[in-house]
Every structure is written in C-alpha cells, then in structure tokens.
Structure 1
Amino acid sequence: MTTDTQPKKKQWTDRFSNWYYPMIAALLIMFVIDYSVRGLFDYKLARVWTMVIYLGLYFAIAGWLNTIRVPKTERKSHPAENWPTSGPIRHVSRYVMIVTFYPSLLLSSLNPWQLIQQFKQLGGQARIAKRIKGREEEFAEYQTKVSYRLPFDGEWLVFNGGLTQATSHSWDVLTQRYAYDFVQADAEFRRHQHSGARLQHYFCYNQPILAAADGEVVAMVDNIGPAPLVGFAVMDFLCRHFAGNHVIIKHAEGEYGFYAHLVKGSIPLKVGDRVQQGQRIGNCGHTGHSTEPHLHFHLQDGPNLFTAMGLPIRFEHVGEITRGQRVRHQ
C-alpha cells in the first residue's frame, strides 16, 4: 500500500506504471524521434520502422517500470498461467499472444476515441491520487453501505482480481484497483467448448448479468459490436470505448457498480431507470478491450470511470474473493 513514508519514486511508480503509461510515453518519444529525424536528416521513417521502434520503446519502458515497481520477492504467479489458453491460438503457443495482443493494444492509441479516453484516464489518475493521498488505508478497509450479491447466477471463475497488490486486477489503475474479471470454466479450467473461434463456444457468452444491489442507472453504452477474432488474443483497437458496452449503477451514496464488456443491444435499461437486486441488466459479452468473453465488474466511489476511486467489495454469502476461486451466488 502506498503511504507518505515511502520514497517519492516508489509512490510515483505505484500510481503511474501500467500499460497505458508506457504506451503514451512510447508514443510521445516516437513523435520526438520522428520529428528529429525529419529535421536533422530530412528523412521520413518508413511505417514499418516507426512501428518497430514504437513497440521496442513500449516494451522497454513497461519492463523497466514493472521491475522497479514490484520487487521480485513480492511477485506472485497468476493461477491462469497453469490454465489452458483459450481459442485456436492455444495450438501454437501462449507466447504467440505477444504478436497479437500487444500490437493490437498499442494500435488503440491511434484510435482518436480511445486516445482521448487514455488521456482522460491519465488526468483522472492524477486527480484520484491527489484526493486519496494519506487515505489509502481508509479506502483499503472500506465497508460498503449496502449488501452486494454476485452479479450472476450459477458457478463462475474469478479469472482476475483480488484485494491485495499481489492479486489485484489493476493495482495502479486506481479506479480498477479492486475490480474483478469473471468467466465460466469447466473442471479443467477450459472456458469454451469446440475450437473457441466463435463467441457461442464460450460458456459465459450471452449469460445474464444481474444487478449486484438495488440502484439507479446513471450511465450506459449499448452500441458497440463484438471484438474481432475471438480466440486469437486480439484487442479491439477500433471500438469507441475500451470498456465496450457497459452500465454504471448508483447502488448507494458514493457506491457505483461498473459492469462492462456486455453484448451489444442486450441492456434493457436507460439512464434514470431503477433496478432491483438480481434484475438482469445485460448479457455477458466480448466488447471493448476483451481477449475473450467475460464480465468486468468493480465498485467505485463516483459515477465517472476516469475520476472515481475503486472500492473493495465483499459479496453476500461469499465474502472476500480472489483470482483462481470458483464462486456461486447462494
């Protein structure tokens, strides 16, 4: 946990070392290099070399920040490392994802809508960090004002997320610090049947997503199509919102549920609607930045995704949950 007694360098890296910061830094450095080469040598870099340099900068910056951010003694392997890789890409190697996932992720910075969102997140991070400075323990020990159920029925697997830095979904993305990604999986942790090249192959795809508590819809997006090439770890760098179709529900004062990556056209709600706990609010999908169908859910202290701080949540009859755990609403 970041505190005022930690070195300033550690505080900075805790707040800002995530994938989009290396992305933005690499993009800015690339612009400087391109401008300098043109000015000094009157030479325009070929697009292929621009991309190669861009990727090299990204991996170098991301690797360096990750090394100084979390000491090796504090790192814990993710249980998903021992689970089957989803989709046709599993027949090659999970390491092939490096040439599908990261390039498509980096291309999102060339999408004007997503680039704006990245800068909004960058500015929002600074505002949140300033607002919670010295209050990190207060947020870590936060107790919700209402009781929350799991946002689905049946058994699901916590693919990502936890309440500690070692297990967190995205510790440095303050809004998503206590977020969770949920999927459905069989006994061998496979998340789909058949080849996994079609959305309908995935167990959780199109499953009902339910309101975790009573509340009021304050924002929603429901017009984004599915991400392309499911099963190949390709991020949708062309969509207009990285969260895909999503709903934000005010469940209590200062407690807003964020439900993301839903199926296009599946949200039977509009802003201002009241919902009851357990009511269907959409279907689990594969929209926005999603490598396979799943539900992203987190609780935040404001209605704005970019300026709200994430809040820890413990669910009815289940309590605290963490990645690798199978959970079911009782």
Structure 2
Amino acid sequence: MRTFFNILGIIKWLGLIGIIGFITDNKPLSLFFLFFLLGFVDIFRNPAVFLQSLYMLLGMPWIHFKHRFNLPSIDNYTPQTDFILPFSGEWLVVNGGIDKQTSHSWGIPNQRYAYDFFIVDAEGKSFSGDNKVVENYYCYGKDVLAPADGEVVSAVNKHPDSNVYGNGTAECKAHDIRGNHIIIRHSKKKYSLIAHLKPGSITVKKGQRVTQGQVIANCGNSGNTTEPHIHFQVSESKNFFASASLPIKFKNVIVKENSKTRTEGYISRGQLVQNGG
C-alpha cells in the first residue's frame, strides 16, 4: 500500500504538463492538469495528520496577529526559566537555532525555535548496522529528562514507532505528528514539548509535578519522523498549533563546534551539546 501511495505521489506531478497546456492553449495537454487531483489521495493516508497540518496552517496567521506581527525573539523576549537539555551525554543539534539561517522552521511560528537532537559517532553517523532498524540508532531508548521543574499537562503514550526507511522518508503511523509526547507547564506562559517518544516509555502522567533532570521517558521514533531523535521546544501555551515558540536559553550547557569548546546560553545547528555540571 505504501508503494501504491508513493507511485501516486510521483504521478501527480504530471499535472505540471497541464500548466504548459493552459499557457500554450493546448487543450490535450491541459487535461494533464487533472493529475494534480491525485494529491488529495494523501488525505486518506492519515486524515488526522492532514487535519493537524491544516490546523498548523491556520494557526500561522493567528500567531502573527496575536503578537502584532512582532514574534518573540532574543531581542524582545527575556527567558525567566533556566532550562537544561532534555538528555544526558553528548548529542548533536541536527536542526534548530535562534536565527533564520539555523532555525528549525523559521516560517512556521509554532516551531521557529524548536530543536531536533541525534547521537552521532566519530564519523557523524547516527546508527550502526542496518539503518532501517530503529534499535540500531544510537539515541533510541535513551533517557529523556525534564528540562525544568513544572507540571505535566499532557502525556500521550499510545502511538507506535514509525517505520525507518533510511532515505529521509517520513511515514507517520501515529494520529499525531508529535507521536508520543509530553507537555510540561513551567509557568503561566511557558510550556515545553518533548516529542517522538518511545512507545510505552513515558513514566509520568497528567497533573504530576516533575523536577528538572528527572527521567520522564525514552527517545523513540513515533509520529512524523524520519529516524529516532528528540524534538524539543518551548511555547507560550499548551496549544501546539496556535502558540508561538520561544527562544530557549540553557543553563550550564557545554557546546562544541569547530574543535572549540565553550559554555553559552543559546545553541544552534551543527553543535555538539551536553549538560554541564
């Protein structure tokens, strides 16, 4: 079935020939435009994920409007909570930063300051052996830590891991792009999200208080993800789809980049990071 959907996903681009037909007033070629209708087939692959994508799309203008088109940044937002990295040991910042060049998704305000983390070896690989087996990824099953004190407001622990195809393809098997995830309220307008957790690994529940550094789950591959990793972000509310993400200033973080080691509050793509003492 996956192969069938992938074939349709390729065939739909024949619709581009239809655009040429419209431009040249060639009616037979114009009929190729109908191939674009195959794009609607994606809706039936996972209707819940399609709806979430729609919510996110609708939430984008709302977030801009709510902030009067002046979204949170390191220039206008002062963090009041000291966060630690949500893991032990050294991990690579694969995606994320505080500027347009390194941002996880600069044009998507609810994930502008999100981060994705892998564990890599000396060769920069994130796995050993068959890259289609989730257990072969170094970060899979590693402990996930509470980034700061707070109260759990959501703990979703029912989704399976998504398949790994080893070619950058994502096939979400969950009915939520975040997969298994935890949301923690740290203050009135500060909520952290940790996503793509291992099925059945969450050790906390809604309403429970957690302390910084507490083990709350294990890294997995659930949700819309190409391979096991930790997705971490801080937002102004628990509504993932309609709240702006916030710049995260980490405390006692050790950063390695270009053979140099330093301690700083903000981290960025390409850096090896770990919690300090």
TM-score range, shorter chain: 0.7 to 0.9
Report how far residue 160 of structure 1 moved.
Answer: 0.6
In 2, are the aligned partners of 1:284 and 1:294 still within 8 Å (CA)? yes
Between stretches 261-270 and 125-134, larger displacement belongs to 125-134
Deviation track 1:59-91 (CA, whole Å, cap 9, x = no partner) reads xxxxxxxxxxxxxxxxxxxxxxxxxxxxxxxxx
Match among 277, 283, 291 for residue 226 of structure 2: 291
Question: Given the alignment of the two structures, is residue 277 of structure 1 paired with residue 223 of structure 2, yes or no?
Answer: no
- The answer to whether 1:327 aligns with 2:262 is no
Q: CA deviation at 1:135?
A: 2.4
Count of residues paired in the alignment: 239
Q: Deviations over 1:130-185 (max 9, x none)?
A: 11224236675312211111111100000111000011000111110001000100
Report how far residue 230 of structure 1 moved: 4.1
- Give the structure with the larger helix fraction: 1
Does the CA-based 8 Å contact 2:152-2:205 persist in structure 1? yes
**Displacement of 1:115 after TM fit?**
1.4
Gaps of 5+ in 1: 1-46, 59-102
Distance 1:324 1:144 in 2: 23
State TM-score, norm by structure 2.
0.80
1: distance between equivalents of 2:6 and 2:231?
Answer: 34
Letter in 2 for 1:323: R
- Residue 123, structure 1, aligned to residue 58, structure 2: yes
**Residues 1:248 and 2:248 aligned together:** no
Q: Which residue of 2 aligns with 1:113?
A: 48
Distance in 1, Cα, partners of 2:148 & 2:90: 19
* Percent identical: 38
Q: Secondary structure at the match of 1:136?
A: coil
Residue 168 of structure 2 is matched in structure 1 by 233
Task: Give the Cα separation in 1 of the matches to 2:227 and 2:56.
Answer: 23
Q: CA deviation at 1:194?
A: 1.4
Tell me the SS of whatever aligns to 1:178: coil
Change in Cα spacing, 1:311 to 1:108, as seen in structure 2 (3 Å) is farther
Give the direction of change, closer, same or farther, for the CA distance of 1:134–1:228 in structure 2 (3 Å limit). closer
Q: Is the 8 A contact 2:64 2:71 kept in 1?
A: no
Letter of the 1:265 partner, please give it. G
Tell me the residue number matched to 2:197: 262
- Counterpart-to-counterpart distance in 1, 2:201 and 2:244: 27
Contact 1:246/1:262, CA 8 A, preserved across alignment: yes
- Indicate the residue corresponding to 2:111 in structure 1: 176
User: Structure 2 residue aligned with 1:166, among 96, 101, 110?
Assistant: 101
2:134 aligns with 199
Structure having the larger proportion of residues in strand? 2
Distance 1:328 1:113, change over 3 A: same
Determine the C-alpha separation between the residues in 2 that align with 1:55 and 1:243.
Answer: 28
In the alignment, is the contact (CA less than 8 A) between 1:108 and 1:238 conserved in 2? no
CA distance in 2, matches of 1:49, 1:279: 45
Alignment gaps of 5+ in structure 2: 17-37, 254-264
Distance change (3 Å), C-alpha of 1:256 and 1:50:
same
